[in-house]
Structure formats: C-alpha cells, structure tokens
A and B are shown apart, each in its own frame.
Chain A
Amino acid sequence: AQRVTQPEKLLSVFKGAPVELKCNYSYSGSPELFWYVQYSRQRLQLLLRHISRESIKGFTADLNKGETSFHLKKPFAQEEDSAMYYCALGGGSQGNLIFGKGTKLSVKP
C-alpha cells in the first residue's frame, strides 16, 4: 500500500540550529516525492520536489530509495521557517498526492 510516514508531530529547535524533518514512504513503483509547507494563515505551497534537486530557502531533500526516505534538511534554521511541513508521494497513474500527517516546525529565537 502507498503510505507516507512523518514520525514527528512537532519539532522544536533554536534559531541557527540544524533541522531535519523525517519522511519515509512505502511505494512499489517509481516514486515522486514532494515537500509542501503551510505557513500560518497561508495556503499549502510546494517547497521542494525530488526530481528538481534544488534548494529552496536553504532546504534540501535527497531521495534515498534504499531507505525509502526523503528527509528535509536545513543547516541553520530561521524563525521564519516555523510552519507545518507535509511530505507527499506522487507517481501513481491517478496523479493525486498521498500526504503524511505533517510535522509542525517551531524555531525559537
């Protein structure tokens, strides 16, 4: 079955500390992985997708097929990074996304 697991409901770090939001997936085919972010009172928006291998706002994520993971990392967290982060799995013929339950990142000053 297709599934996305984000084990941490809440992650709290201090400004300037490294941050890693974990995401594991279960998928039999060729996965497409995404990270979406939802800042307070804003709509869900795409942060990263694995296929583009880009860095957005200092965040990176590497798809590890052996570990079936797509962890989101940033070396130095900023207060403005505080938000809900959702890992999502695509790649099925239907085109819809399968989301994890989300991790709330709180960056303290």
Chain B
Amino acid sequence: GEEVAQTPKHLVRGEGQKAKLYCAPIKGHSYVFWYQQVLKNEFKFLISFQNENVFDETGMPKERFSAKCLPNSPCSLEIQATKLEDSAVYFCASSPNRVNTEAFFGQGTRLTVV
C-alpha cells in the first residue's frame, strides 16, 4: 500500500490482559520501526526490523513485549500482561533504507490499559 496502516486505532485492555497491535508497512520498504509515545511526550524507540529480521531491539522492555515481522503478514507488537504504564500511542514507521531517508508513519494505535 501507499501508506503505513496500523490496526486497531484504539485498544482498551484490562490490566494483565494481552494486547496485540498490527502494522502493514509500505510495499517495498525494508525497514519497520516501532515507537511508543506516552502522554504526548517524545517518541521512545522500541524495535526495528530489516524485512523479517530484528535489526535493533535495544528499546524493547525485556519482559512482556515482543514483536514480529513475518513474510506476507502485517508486523505485530504484542504486550503480554499489560500494565497501566503501557498506556500510550504506539506508532509504526517504515522506510526503504536505514539511514538518511524519510520514515513514513502510521496513524498510531492508542492503547489504554484500565
């Protein structure tokens, strides 16, 4: 597609429940990035993929968070046993290259943990 598509737009989960977010990058883009934005503050980098391979996961919380980008499927970000502090907008971005290039963002998924 021509735009990065994120689903769902909004997600409400009770504490302890699982949350799964999806991102379809722009066709032909090799890189996918996930960012977390809490309370409209700065974007925190979580993880990046080069095609289906994890490229950099230095921002991912060690526990509870996992992500995948499988061939012919949307990428996904999963949070096991959600906590209140996971409430945030999660943005996905894709780009054709890794450096010196424009990153195209999705509209984000707003996760609310109650």
Contact = CB atoms under 8 A, between A and B. Distances in A.
B76 interface: no
B64 to A, nearest CB: 21
Nearest to A98: B45
A95 B43 contact: no
Contacts of B40: 102
A36 B102 CA distance: 10
B85 interface: no
**Chain A contact residues (Cβ within 8 angstroms of B): what range?**
20 to 34
A44 B105 contact: yes
Interface string B82-114: 000000000100010111101111111000000
Contacts of A51: 100
A49 B3 CA distance: 20
A11 interface: no
A99 B40 CA distance: 12
A97 interface: yes
Nearest to A95: B98
B63 interface: no
Contact of A99 (B42, B58, B99, B106): B42
A95 B105 contact: no
A58 to B, nearest CB: 19
Contacts of B59: 96
A99 B45 CA distance: 9
A93 B58 CA distance: 13
Nearest to A92: B99
A46 B103 contact: yes
Interface of A: 4, 32, 34, 36, 42-46, 49, 51, 86, 90-91, 93-102
24 contacts: A4-B42, A32-B100, A43-B3, A43-B105, A43-B108, A45-B105, A46-B102, A49-B102, A51-B100, A86-B43, A90-B99, A90-B100, A91-B100, A93-B99, A94-B48, A94-B56, A95-B33, A95-B48, A95-B55, A95-B97, A96-B59, A98-B45, A99-B42, A100-B42
Going nearest first, the 7 A-B pairs with the smallest beta carbon separation are: A95-B98, A44-B105, A99-B43, A94-B56, A96-B45, A46-B102, A101-B42
